[in-house]
Structures are given as structure tokens and as C-alpha cells.
Structure 1
């Protein structure tokens, strides 16, 4: 209960900050739209070049589709990292007394573009290598690989804030993030998981409403309306929760780096989240 209470408090503080910058919610929206557009381009390009075979008896994905898939992975990861960096910039600006806008946040992310893209390349490459290994390993080895994936995700949790706030280069940002996680023993991930749980809880009403409408309204129209409402609700929750988690991550990074508590977060709550053993 203490952990849940702590996460709820930090969520409320993150929301109080995000309410001042509602326009920044467009950043994850734009990111998602760009990724969807990239996916459509990938599918069209694969179909038109014969990379994806749709004839009966075909084997599915060809070499061209694999190449295009790699390109899409890099492009999609780069898009996600860039807009996460923009949101970190906006969050940090708000926490340090600024008044961020979508333009100012994107401008600051653009200034860090080489480092953000460098990290995106590393992240996408590691992800693809792990996926390739997973497909070739027996189930017992896959379990061990899942631990490796989790360790990588934890170690790199604070990479984007390190790039955006302290101008770390990609490799240095990974080392810095890993050192902060070691110092705090990674307990920040518990709070991050709390945001995931919050997202699931908030999605349930939207899904339930969609199901009820689909059941009440007869025919295909009911399915369409109910489905649209459910999907819209889920997307809205994902956008808000992802923004809240990045605001929180930004504050956590600053606290882990120099002990500063920004944006109205409570020092005791931050210490409970990290349980860092600092050198005073």
C-alpha cells in the first residue's frame, strides 16, 4: 500500500504540472501519427516491391520486406526517441520555471538531434538483435534472454533525460543512466510500473463503455461506434499516461543526479521512490 500511495502522490504532482502544459500532449500524439504513417509506407512499399507475398502458398516476408522492416524499425525508434526528448525538454522547462510550448520543446530536441538519433540507433539495434536471438533460442534460454532485456531496459531508463538535460552523448548517456540505476538500485522502475498499472485501470472504463455500446446498438453500426469509442479512450489514456511518466522520469533524473527536487515533488516521496544511498 505504501508503494501505491507513493506512486499515486507522484502521479498527482505530475498531473498538476502537465495541466499547465496541455498542448505538450500533442507531442506523443504527433509521434504516434508519424509512426503509423511510417508503418503504412512500409506496408505499401513491401507490397508494391514484392517484399510481402499475398498469393496462396507464398512464404510471407521476402528479403526486401526484411530490409524495409529494418529501415522502419530505425525510423520508428528515432521518431519515438525524438518526441520523448521533446517532452523531457518541456517538462524540465516547466520544472525550472519556464513556460514550454510545442515549438520550444521540439526546438530543444532538434538541438540534441545527433545524440537522440545515436541513442535511437543503439536502442533499435539492440532490440533487433534480442528479437533475432529470441527466435533462435530454446524456451529455457529465452527466459534468460528476458532477464537480459529487462536489465537493458532498466539500465537505459534515464538515457533520454541525460541527453536532453545534461547533453550526454549516446554511449556516455547509457553509462550515466546505468550508474544512476545502480546507485538507486533501480527502484524507480517500481514507480514506472505504477504508471503502467494506472494506465490499465483508466483504460478499463473506456473499453467497458465501448463494449456496452456495441451490445446496445444493433448491427454493424453498434460495433463500429463502440469500437471507435473504446479505441479513442484507450489512445487518450496512453497519451496522457505516457506524458505523465515522462514528467515523472524527468524529475527522477534530476533528483538522482544532484539531489534537487523540482516541480513541486516532495523530497520524502522521491527518497521513498529511489532509496538512494547518497554520499553526503
Structure 2
């Protein structure tokens, strides 16, 4: 088990080192929030159109919600696929570009669509499982909500393993799902990241925000309102940076995990060996 934990730590440190290797890898995490904002604006306009033209039935809004969910998955999966390919190129020792990643994602567009359809269906099912929120204490609703969260969490992790298989090895969506038989063997590294390293990474940024807040409070008697403004600006910067790095770390970690532990490929620049006999 120690060897598997060592794998996780090596994957995590390698993930962080990739920021220095090629700054282009930050392109997708930086662009994605703006792309999602653009999609949100488009969906808001569409929702306004649905409301104006009188299609206000529950079925119409349900259909609109499903379409919106699908488009969101499609957009985010497309960019995640681009990032995965860019990580693969850097792992081989090559320079990468955003255009290279986007071309690869476009090449696998049909499989990305299938991936997005399945993820949408899963979230529709979990949404129906949750049902409508009830006022007051409802044990049944709480259990259904917990079960739905567990399903979404598990499917989300499986999706992170399926995507690199589709993009890096050019498998179809169906073949990548079947390949989960191999990827499932990496569950210790997955758990170490999801339960340990990932949350700790987020906690570190939260600690930075707290420190900034305490500093602002400490100097506020001297500079007054300027301290509050400085704190708010600093906090916004930290939150944005945390979001960008979180996206980067998540996508990069799982791509490297697939390359190193499933495909057993050498990661350029990594001198230590991964434990792959499992």
C-alpha cells in the first residue's frame, strides 16, 4: 500500500511540475470559466425566449433543463479532452499548444458527444431520484439525496478515467468504458487524490485566504477602508486562482494516472519509477 501512496504523491508532484514545463497547459483552465459564462448567457437568453413565447409547461422547462445540462457537459468535456491531449504531448517531451488540444478534441467529437449524453442521463436520473425538496425534516429525501450524490461522485470519477482513454489512445467511447477494467486497478491512487491530496490542496488555498483576511484585519486600524478593499481584491484573486489550479490539477492528475499506471508509459522528466505491478 505504501507503494501506491508513493504513486499518488509522485503523480501529484508531477502534476504541479507540469505548470513549469509548459505554460500552455494553463490555457484551458483559464479559458473554461469564460466559456461557461458565455454558455450561461446563451442559456439565459434561450430561457427568456421560452418564457416569452409561452412554453411554460413543466415538460418544456424539463426539456430545456436537460438540453442545458447536455450543452454544459459537452462544452466542459470538449475542453477537458483538449487539455488531456495537451498533457499527453508534454508527457512525451513535446511542446504543446491550445490549438493542438482543440484539434484532437474535434477529432474525437463524436465520442465526446456520447460521453456528454451519458453524463447528462446520469444526472437526469439522479435529479429525479432526489425529487422535489420538502419543507421540514424528511429522512427519505435526505437518503435519496445522499444516494444521488454518491452516484454522481462515482460516475464523475469514472468519467475522469474514461476521458484520457478516449483521447490519448484514440479509443471509442464504448472501448474506453470497457477499458475501465484496467483503470479500476488504480483505485488506491484515485482515493488518495479524491480523499487526501485534492482536499488538502484546496485547504491550502483556503488557509491563504484566511491569512490574507487576518492581515487585512490587523492593518485596518491604520489604513481603514483601503484594507477592506485590498482584502476583497486579494480574496477574489485567490478564489480565481484556486478555481484555475483546481481544474488544472484534476485534469492533469487523471491523465498522468492513466498514462503512467494504466498504459504504463514513461513520463518525460520523471526520474522516479511508478509502481505498476498490481
TM tier relative to shorter chain: 0.7 to 0.9
Structure 1: 5+ residue stretches without partners: 54-59
Contact map agreement 2:82 2:104 (CA 8 A) in 1: yes
Partner deviation per Cα, 1:108-148 (whole Å, 9 max, x = no partner) = 11111111122112112212211221226633344444443
**Corresponding residue of 1:189:** 191
Report what 1:254 is aligned to.
259
How far did 1:198 drift?
0.5
Higher RCO (C-alpha 8 Å, min separation 6): 2
* Separation (CA, whole Å) in 1 of partners of 2:264 and 2:245: 27
Cα drift, residue 107 of structure 1: 1.5
Asked if the contact 2:161/2:258 (under 8 Å) is kept, the reply is: yes
Change beyond 3 A, Cα 1:198–1:168: same
Q: In angstroms, what is the RMSD of aligned CA positions? A: 3.2
TM-score (norm 2): 0.79
Name the residue aligned to 2:154: 151
Single out whichever of 207-216 and 249-258 deviates more from structure 2. Answer: 207-216
Q: Identify if the C-alpha distance between structure 1 residues 97 and 75 changes in structure 2 by more than 3 Å, giving closer, same or farther.
A: same
Residue 43 of structure 2 corresponds to residue 42 of structure 1 = yes
Q: Measured at CA, do residues 187 and 26 of structure 1 come closer, stay the same or move farther in structure 2, by a change above 3 Å?
A: closer
1:115, 1:163 within 8 Å by CA — same for their partners in 2?
Answer: yes
Structural mapping, 1:161-172, within 5 Å: 161-172=164-175
Query: Quick check: 34-43 or 86-95, which moved more?
Result: 34-43
Map of 2:18 onto structure 1: 17
> Which range moves more in the overlay, 98-107 or 145-154?
145-154
User: TM-score scaled by structure 1?
Assistant: 0.79
3-state SS of 2:179 partner: helix
Give the Å deviation of 1:9. 4.3
Candidates 59, 64, 83, aligned match of 1:87? 83
Offset, 1:20: 2.2
8 Å CA contact 1:211–1:226 kept in 2: the answer is no
**Residues 183-192 or 229-238, more deviating:** 183-192
1:239 and 2:244 correspond: yes
> CA shift at 1:261, angstroms?
3.1
Verify the 8 A CA contact 1:42 1:69 in the aligned structure 2. no
TM-superposed deviation, 1:256 = 2.9
Displacement of 1:8 in angstroms is 4.8
Give how far 1:77 is off. Answer: 1.0
Shift of 1:36: 1.3
Which whole-Å CA distance do the structure 1 matches of 2:215 and 2:238 have between them?
14
Instruction: Tell me what 1:199 maps to.
Output: 202
> Residue 138 of structure 1 corresponds to which residue in structure 2?
141
Cα distance in 1 between the residues matched to 2:29 and 2:57: 30
- Matched residue pairs, number? 263
- The answer on 1:174 being equivalent to 2:174 is no
Matched, 1:116 2:103: no
CA shift for structure 1 position 186: 5.0
Residues 233-242 or 160-169, more deviating = 233-242
Between the aligned partners of 1:276 and 1:191, the Cα distance in structure 2 is 20
